[in-house]
Amino acid sequence: MSRLAFLRQLACEAGALAHTGFGTAPSSLKGRHDVLTEMDGRVERHVRAAIAAAYPDDAVIGEEDGGESGERVWIIDPIDGTANYARGIAHYCVSIGYLEAGQPVLGAIHDPCHDRLYLAQRGQGAWLIEPGQPDRRLAVSPCATLDAATVECGWSLRRSTEDYLAMVSRVMHAGCAMRRAGSGALGLVDVAAGRIEAYAELHINAWDCAAGILLVEEAGGHCNDFFTADGAGVRDGNVLVATNDALARLLEPVIGIARLT
């Protein structure tokens, strides 16, 4: 079985497992507004066990159990949008990315509430796979002006309220519409599918976006250099702006990313 086929099956299995606890899994707080459910750990353990059995030499990093990077590394967010998941709000997913030499090669995001799988392979496009439907190739929005753009502004307590509100203010003063739906991975899927024009977050972790960045790029979009040559993005997270080429030039300075060209 190819790595792509393995990932496709694993993401669907993990999504099905996660969905058994949708809205009902016992939850606690890791920190203020930082929700953890019993299912986050269960799904991550399931994914780790499958990878360890199929690819014992690969490195694995997961949100719940950590891990070290390597030449070949799988990056797992067992449930992205956990606050939605715990409240029974139908906007969460499982995200699994696979990187070689520091760059994403495969990415899968499974949206169990809609039984949708978003799958990308470097150089092979980004696809929406739904039961009973033909596979659909994803493409980012062609919008080229900020005053016609909708931007999802991701939020976490890893950055200050002042910095978040200042970013939102700059985005809105630039003419964009703003939304926040509570799953970074599904926000990136929405960009890849052309439903919104951009996703921006001042700090996001690799497990939230490893698969989503590849989906956006393979859908013809543009992301800033999240991963960085020294591997810091995987280890520490980074700022992220994911959009199309035309808007990247306009939006990156608004978010605070300097462009060299």
How many beta carbons lie within 10 A of that of residue 236, not counting itself?
Answer: 11
Query: Between residue 25 and residue 84, which ones bind Ca ion under the rule CB under 5 A?
Result: 63, 77, 79-80
Please report how the helices 245-255 and 161-173 are oriented relative to each other, as an axis angle in degrees rounded to 10.
Answer: 130
Contact between residue 106 and residue 4 where contact means Cβ atoms under 8 Å apart: yes
- Residue 33 CB, nearest approach to ligand IPD (Å): 9
- Residue 80 CB, nearest approach to Ca ion (Å): 4
Binding site residues, ligand IPD, CB under 6 A: 77, 80-82, 154-156, 182-184, 201, 204, 208
Is 208 annotated in a binding site? The answer is yes
**Which residue, 149 or 188, has its beta carbon nearer to Ca ion?**
188
Residue 154, contacted partner among Ca ion, ligand IPD, none, CB below 5-8 A by kind = ligand IPD
**Which residue, 87 or 136, has its beta carbon nearer to Ca ion?**
87
- Residue 34 CB, nearest approach to ligand IPD (Å): 6
Question: Can you name the residues that pair with 238 across neighbouring β-strands?
Answer: 204
Rg from Cα positions in the chain = 17
Residue 69, contacted partner among Ca ion, ligand IPD, none, CB below 5-8 A by kind = none
152 binds Ca ion (CB under 5 A): no
* Spatial separation of the C-alpha atoms in residues 200 and 156, rounded to whole Å: 12
Q: Build a one-symbol-per-residue string for 196-235: x at contacts with Ca ion by CB under 5 A, - elsewhere.
A: ------------x---------------------------
Is 34 annotated in a binding site? The answer is no
Q: Among the residues of the chain, which ranges form H helices?
A: 3-19, 38-54, 82-87, 161-173, 184-192, 206-218, 232-236, 245-255
Is 63 annotated in a binding site? The answer is yes
In terms of Cβ atoms closer than 10 Å to its own Cβ (0-12, 13-18, 19+), residue 167 is: buried
Handedness of CA 85, 63, 75, 251 (dihedral sign): positive
Contact between residue 194 and residue 140 where contact means Cβ atoms under 8 Å apart: yes
**Which residue, 122 or 228, has its beta carbon nearer to ligand IPD?**
228
Binding residues for Mg(2+), by number, are 63, 77, 79-80, 208
Q: Which residues bind Ca ion (CB under 5 A)?
A: 63, 77, 79-80, 208
